[in-house]
Structure 1
Amino acid sequence: MSIAGDPLAFPHLLPPVPEHPATVAEFAGLARSVAADRASWEPLVRYDALSRWYARLRTGPGYEVWLLSWLPGQSSGRHDHGPSSGVLTVLRGSLTEHATGPSGAAERRLTTGAQRVFVPGYVHEVVNDTLEPAISVHVYFPGLTEMTPFPACTAPGRSAVGSS
């Protein structure tokens, strides 16, 4: 079949625009668009001296978006995300991710704008080891139904004190 002229002039011939993200890149794009919309999340941020503060920002078919705040020294503890994949985006400040995998332990500094994508079975710990508060947004797909805690492990430059 051949169409003369501009195919964009015939919207019924274009593939439908997805109503929600369906690929990792689209979920990362969703996290970036939430990050860019400061007016939607900034007034909601709270800080809790006893634990990380979090609030669900939105849900969609098969996904959730969470806003988290981190005071200095606060940590997620070592955990996975059950059957969920996810995208973590730092909105303000800096966080450090300690991950363990088949190739050993890795440490990554995540500064404002940094993104991390993870799959089911990925085990990590996120910590604010700076002197300033941090804020992050997390997109989980499917929505987060479980987080399995794991004992703390010794990573380069860290001691194994206590467990998560």
Structure 2
Amino acid sequence: MYSDVSIAGDPLELPHLLPPVPQHPSTVAEFAGLARSIAADRARWAPQVHYDATTRGYARLHTGPGYEVWLLSWLPGQGSGLHDHGGSSAVLTVVEGTLHERALTARGETRRVLTPGHQRVFATGYVHDVVNESLEGAVSLHVYFPGLTEMTPYSCTPGARTAERAR
């Protein structure tokens, strides 16, 4: 006669029948990899692109333990303003169009042109401005870890080497 164990197998061998536990990023490299994999899956993000003449378009694509992924849609001329990301670090990946980044560091100002595939990783305290200076729409993917809860605005007088928190 057959027993339950002989039919179902050894209960200690059950884990191979369960779905795998989802792996979540825990390092900067893994968050950058997550951003690249989502960016490569156009069918996942393209339906969320939303251009709005009054503000950048926002869509939360994904959340996980301690992080979130956002898609931003930028019309020509739209920008973020000079800001930091509070207590969050971030990965910015351009998926469509061209964005221009201006960053203020202790060594002064740097400027970058970001085209599809460009990726920027920054830690807490990083002060920057992102603008679509092109004549076409742009789309970017942002991974914030931990999830974004604040963005501190900054002001910078022309020619200044540092920024001050906006009042």
Whichever of the two has the greater Rg, that structure is 2
User: Counterparts of 1:129 and 1:92 in 2: how far apart (Å)?
Assistant: 13
2:68 is matched with 64
Q: 1:52 to 1:94 in 2, by over 3 A?
A: same
Question: SS at 2:37's partner residue?
Answer: helix
Deviation of the 1:55 alpha carbon: 1.0
Any residues of structure 2 matched to 1:5-84 within 5 Å, and which?
19-84=23-88
Give every structure 1 segment of 4 or more consecutive aligned residues whose post-TM-superposition deviation is greater than 6 Å.
none
Deviations along 1:85-127, one digit per CA (max 9) or x if unpaired, are 0000000000000000010000000001100000000000000
User: Counterparts of 1:153 and 1:75 in 2: how far apart (Å)?
Assistant: 17
Deviation of the 1:155 alpha carbon: 6.2
Q: 1:155 to 1:22 in 2, by over 3 A?
A: farther
Tell whether 2:126 aligns with 1:139.
Answer: no
Q: CA RMSD in A?
A: 2.2
Amino acid at match of 1:137: L
Deviation of the 1:18 alpha carbon: 7.0
1:105 is matched with 109
Deviation of the 1:17 alpha carbon: 7.9
Amino acid at match of 2:113: R
Q: 1:18 to 1:77 in 2, by over 3 A?
A: same
- Unaligned runs of at least 5 residues, structure 1: 1-11, 157-162
Question: SS at 1:68's partner residue?
Answer: strand
2:118 is matched with 114
2:6 is matched with none
Tell whether 2:129 aligns with 1:125.
Answer: yes
User: Counterparts of 1:102 and 1:95 in 2: how far apart (Å)?
Assistant: 23
Tell me if structure 2 keeps the 8 A contact 1:79–1:123: yes
User: Counterparts of 2:58 and 2:120 in 1: how far apart (Å)?
Assistant: 18
2:154 is matched with 150
Amino acid at match of 2:152: T
User: Counterparts of 1:41 and 1:106 in 2: how far apart (Å)?
Assistant: 30
Deviation of the 1:44 alpha carbon: 1.3
Tell whether 2:78 aligns with 1:92.
Answer: no
- Unaligned runs of at least 5 residues, structure 2: 1-15, 161-165
Equivalent residue pairs, number: 145
Question: SS at 1:91's partner residue?
Answer: strand
